[in-house]
Chains A and B, each alone.
Chain A
Amino acid sequence: MNLLLASSPHQHNKRTTGQIMRLVLYALIPGIAMQTWFFGIGTLIQIALAVSTALVTEACILELRKRDFERSLQDYSAVLTAVLLAISLPPFAPWWLVVIGSFFAIAVVKQLYGGLGFNVFNPAMAAYVLLLVSFPLQMTQWLPAQSLAQYSHNWLDAFYTIFTGYSQDGFSLSQLRLGIDGTTMATPLDTVKTSLAQSLTYHESLQLPIFDSTVSGLNVAWSWIAFAYLLGGLLLIRQKVINWHIPLSMLVSLFAITLFMALVDGDRFGSVLFHFFNGSIIIGAFFIATDPVSASTTNKGRLVFGAAIGLWVYIIRTWGGYPDAVAFAVVIMNMAVPLIDYYTQPRVYGHRERSNKKEAKE
């Protein structure tokens, strides 16, 4: 009889990388659907552009590195990176923006560092930061939700605007951005930042038409999108694709600091609801900060990592130059991950406690 001996681990993870990435992509679907519903088909075009660029880039670089690219392309990691980048861009952003971004994400941030599993930074977010720093104008041209816009646009307009800069009827992107009251609409976060800079109080700025929800401080489109991503994120936790540590600690730390600051001075600092459901907190907490490669890998470390991201988001949103900060916060904390992992390394089972070890040494 032939007894097969295999070394540990004996319990194998059933999921392959490709399956995990696909599950994350499925979990993104409700959010993407909401985004398309409110902002038009531009998001889907951006996704298509990003995915094709990312796949071509990945294949070319893997070919240059003499790796088997057919196998690597099947792990869907490049697709996920591309989708995450595409949904963070303004839906009607020019086509070259997303192409440069996806190329940078895959070629520089991922492959130059050694490919999947070796990248220090979250590729989608590093590319987003690059685009935001390089092309601030194009990166902030968010449209108002369809219901708030002065000029309506259909799916053909989306194509025209992305590829030529003008809609079918010859409206430029800045004209499409006009709201019903004839002023240019920005994102809710941007609006509040601008009006705070014009020395309005926070509550006064909530009277602006962009906050069209019955709940104070919310914009209908953005809060529905956040809810849809929240749904997807909870599904991911339920499916055990991601751990609860990073999303929970990030949300809790952000909750604590927003609550504290809003209580200290409600005229200058936004409410908890305002911070949570405008911008990219929810998708950031569940889909971006939880990237298995560039996030911390120990459970204690994940708690620290998430909490620090929440803190950075608040600091940059409130006192920094940019209205939203998830990308910056994630990239900053990616740099701290090796240190966090070093100090939170779990003890090997059966190993003595640190205090005992010290005594033994002495």
Chain B
Amino acid sequence: MHELKQLSWQGLWKNNPALVQLLGLCPLLATTATLINGLGLGLATTMVLIGSNTAVSAIRRWVPNEIRIPIFVMIIAAFVTVVQLLMNAYTFTLYQSLGIFIPLIVTNCAIIGRAEAYASKNPVGLAAYDGLMMGLGFTLVLMTLGGMREILGYGTLFSGANLLFGDWASQLEIRVFTTDSPFLVAILPPGAFLGMGLLIALKNLGDNKMEAVFAAKPKPKNVQRARVTAET
């Protein structure tokens, strides 16, 4: 049980693939112009992560160490193809708007990173759970960043939710404000970098605050200085 808790904490916050490991930045920055785009890519990545972690963990005893990376990549590519075909079949418009970034999930370092660092050394159940938590952590960051950029850039939230959830979801769209001159930079790549920097800064700020609250009183520092001048 403790292991599961630890895995959740690591995936969602402490070792978050997007905010701390800074892995998979390319899709992270490229697809987060809206919240739904971010959510779509996040869910796809999560599915791939769970699948690849499970598969890698299941075959870990038979994989020769020397050629493990090509094997992992092939497994990941297989799952990405599955996800890609599924999205093509069921969420076609979202599939089109995410474009090249769905096949590019193969190259997301967060996935091969988890396969290498965790799944190849741990039992199937735990590996799958790790994939889920890492994927959720990634998705949450994608959604936050997407939401920030969507509000600033378009003045809406959840626009295009029908692409992911079906027609009923088009009512989810919230119009925060209307403007004739949208803040274009938020939608453009520089906005993604600025937003990502701010998110990381906020996370670090939160960590520091928490540390300050929970930390025990620090021991007084005892600094010993070497004399550099002669005694008179």
Contact = CB atoms under 8 A, between A and B. Distances in A.
A135 B182 CA distance: 7
Nearest to B187: A134
Interface in A120-147: 130, 133-138
Contacts of B194: 108
B163 to A, nearest CB: 26
Contacts of B183: 134-135
Interface in B186-222: 186, 188, 190, 194
Contacts of B190: 130, 133
Contacts, number: 17
Contacts of B181: 135, 137-138
Contacts of A133: 184-185, 188, 190
A178 B133 CA distance: 60
Which of B185, B186, B188 counts the most chain A CB atoms within 10 A? B185
Interface string B168-192: 0000000000000101111010100
Interface residues of A, number: 8
A137 B190 CA distance: 19
A92 to B, nearest CB: 15
Contacts of A135: 181, 183-184
Nearest to A131: B185
Interface residues of B, number: 8
Contacts of A137: 181
B210 to A, nearest CB: 19
Nearest to B190: A133
Nearest to B180: A137
A63 to B, nearest CB: 16
Nearest to A130: B185
A329 to B, nearest CB: 17
Contacts of A136: 184
Nearest to A100: B183
Interface string A133-164: 11111100000000000000000000000000
A135 B152 CA distance: 13
A134 B194 CA distance: 14
A1 B183 CA distance: 68
A135 to B, nearest CB: 5
A283 B194 CA distance: 29
B197 to A, nearest CB: 8
B74 to A, nearest CB: 39
Contacts of B185: 130, 133-134
Contacts of A108: 194
A137 B183 CA distance: 12
A338 B125 CA distance: 50
A79 to B, nearest CB: 25
Interface in A15-56: none
Nearest to A108: B194
Interface in A85-138: 108, 130, 133-138
Contacts of A130: 185, 190
A133 B190 CA distance: 10
Contacts of B186: 134
Nearest to B194: A108
B69 to A, nearest CB: 34
A126 B186 CA distance: 15
A136 B181 CA distance: 9
Interface of B: 181, 183-186, 188, 190, 194
5 contacts: A108-B194, A130-B190, A133-B185, A135-B181, A135-B183
A-B pairs with the 5 shortest C-beta distances? A134-B185, A134-B184, A133-B185, A135-B181, A134-B183
Given A134-B184, A135-B184, A136-B184, 14 more contacts: A108-B194, A130-B185, A130-B190, A133-B184, A133-B185, A133-B188, A133-B190, A134-B183, A134-B185, A134-B186, A135-B181, A135-B183, A137-B181, A138-B181
